[in-house]
Amino acid sequence: MKSIKTYIIILLGIAFSVVLPSCNGFLEREPLDGFTDQNYWSSEANVKAYAWRFYNLFMGYGKGTGTTAEYYFQSAGASTAILISDDLTSNGFLQYQPNASASNTNWNDLYEYIRRANILLERLPNVPMDNVAKNHWEGVARFFRAYYYFRLVQRFGDVPYYDKDVTDINNVQVVFLPRTNRNEVMDKVRADINLAVTLLRESDGANTVNKFVALALKARIGLYEGTYRKYHQAGNGAEFLQDAKNAANEIILSGKYQIGSSYKAVYNSESLSGNKEIILYKEYLSGVAGHSIQAYTNTSTVGNGMTKSAIDSYVCTDGLPISQSTAYQGDANITNVLANRDGRLTATIDNEGISFKHQPMDLSRARTSSTGYVVNLYYNAASPSITTTGQNFIDAPIFGYAEVLLNYAEACAELGAITQADLDKSINLLRSRAGITVLTYVSDDNVQAGGATINDPKRTSALENISGPVSSIIWEIRRERRAELMAWTEMRYYDLMRWEKGDYLDYTNNPDVALGAKGTGMTDVTTNADGYVYVYPGSNRAFNPNKHYLNSIPTGQRDLYKAEGIDLSQNAGWGN
């Protein structure tokens, strides 16, 4: 990790590396040369080119052969921080890091881009363009600054807050700022995103940040922060929850977006352009930018498999959980697993069979997984080079209408003011597409499907009582969110963090997260008494609630502060 002084000096030289905009969306381009701070800020076109680089930190399906992404992939590396999911079990056992990391890529990258946003905000007043244009680009800068600080707080909690370009690199008190309380940072994030919504154009070309993208981010931020404050006893989050509800509702009322007929098309399309369900996406194009998510899920490489916990969470077509539904056929084989189930399950895992890494079945493309359940969500028979790493080009959603509907429903429920009308214009639309009976709201603890009151014993299980159970309506909304956003690893991880449900990731507290499909009668696999495969027998992952809700502050960064006689505090549980 570079020192902040070194980091600032380097950025003074690279701040004006810009990328050419694509007429079809944001794609990586080679930087232009020959610009300086003195001659660059001369037109709106230059401002737009400068702003394209902000999009680089939307990870989508990753880049090239890398596995750092929002979807499917998982990690426990020092530079990427922990992204472990209860939905998927990695093809290699992931354990929490025992000690604080010396460096963290997220810390470094996010502060680099925050500085770029601050530079843009300071230079805009002197750019020769009309006030409408200036307002829009101020909105873009504030949107991204809000997004980057939001991501920092999600990972690290309290963080140093810079709201201007640091040019006096010899002023220790300006450079080496202490950590600002997370609530104060998030209040500043709220101010930025609220202002961005008012400043941004409703459209600035295809697949670019605009008012509706900002509203989608506002809803995401509001729901996260409102529930985080509630479940972590970190203050009153009602204002944030109201933000989430209002922002999502504004998008709904605009009529600009709608749920499409195909759930799978959201995640396996060669182009998301024109898809009415997508608000913003990461575009991939041959010769410009590719990824590897199809290669990793469509070759003989052992894939990350869906857990028993995830499979069991899907309801049956009658809208009832498997413990209650007479339509449930059991899980002795893949046919039974998928019979009469939520259509999103059949879209997410392969219907050819259950194929373990040690006991492969004769699946097409020789696929296996860690749990026996093979992820098929990203498969598209028309995709070229589907088995070649770095040569996959399906587009990745960044903000979608489905998430907006989920955010709306959850915010309504968390505010204690949800109605049947709220359900009908949000998650019941998603349930209808999935081919399952919609929800009927009677009261917070009386939610029905097809006239039957839902009574899921897992809602009041020992696992739920570790941090406290939730109402039936919140439980069902969370279930819906899990099904709709299945395999969106980063989203699920931070859902668990904000709900204070890290115990879901613990093998002892939640044994179903360590299990795969039925493996009865197979050799070279270890099963429990009920015949479910232990994915990593002999391995145990423990979640420490006093430590693992936040990543460690990079020790290398703390050492740089210490050299200047300033303490950069560490998060609880990670040492002094």
User: Considering the entire predicted model, what is its pTM?
Assistant: 0.94
> What pLDDT, in 10s, does the model give residues 417-449?
999 999 999 999 999 999 999 999 999 999 999
pLDDT tops 60 at residue 21: no
Contact, 439 vs 432, CB < 8 A? no
pLDDT at residue 10 in the model: 36
Residues 210 and 326 in one domain: no
- Range scoring the smallest mean pLDDT among 96-105, 106-115, 140-149, 212-221: 96-105
Residues 354 and 469 in one domain: yes
Residues 195 and 303 in one domain: no
CA distance 60 to 131: 33
Structure confidence at residue 9 as a pLDDT band (50, 70, 90): very low
Residues 489 and 557 in one domain: no
Could you tell me which residues come within 8 angstroms of residue 116 by beta carbon, excluding any fewer than 6 positions away?
Answer: 11, 15, 50, 53, 54
> What pLDDT, in 10s, does the model give residues 144-161?
999 999 999 999 999 999
Average pLDDT over residues 312-325: 98
Residue in 311, 387, 303, 291 with CA at minimum distance from that of residue 92:
303
Residues 513 and 555 in one domain: no
Contact, 505 vs 543, CB < 8 A? yes
pLDDT tops 80 at residue 50: yes
Q: Does residue 240 fall inside a structural domain?
A: no
pLDDT tops 60 at residue 6: no
pLDDT at residue 521 in the model: 74
Comparison of pLDDT for 77 and 144, the residue scoring more: 144
| Residue 252 C-beta-side C-alpha neighbours within 13 Å | 23
pLDDT at residue 22 in the model: 36
What average pLDDT is seen over the chain?
A: 92
Residues 173 and 216 in one domain: yes
Residues 346 and 493 in one domain: yes
Residues 481 and 555 in one domain: no
pLDDT at residue 23 in the model: 34
pLDDT at residue 79 in the model: 58
Residues 89 and 216 in one domain: yes
- The residue type of 208 is T
Burial 56-73 (b: 16+ CB within 10 A, else e): eeebbbbbeeebebbbbb
C-alpha 382: how far from its chain's center? 27
C-alpha distances in angstroms, 493 versus 88, 172, 305, 482, 500?
Answer: 11, 36, 16, 11, 11
CA distance 109 to 1: 11
- Range scoring the smallest mean pLDDT among 2-6, 86-90, 495-499, 555-559: 2-6
pLDDT at residue 33 in the model: 56
Residue 515 β-bridge partners: 534
Question: Range of 305's domain?
Answer: 299-377+433-543
Comparison of pLDDT for 464 and 525, the residue scoring more: 464
> What pLDDT, in 10s, does the model give residues 496-521?
999 999 999 999 999 999 999 998 77
CA distance 359 to 369: 10
| Lateral strand order in the sheet of 439-443 | 439-443, 446-449, 452-453
Contact, 107 vs 554, CB < 8 A? yes
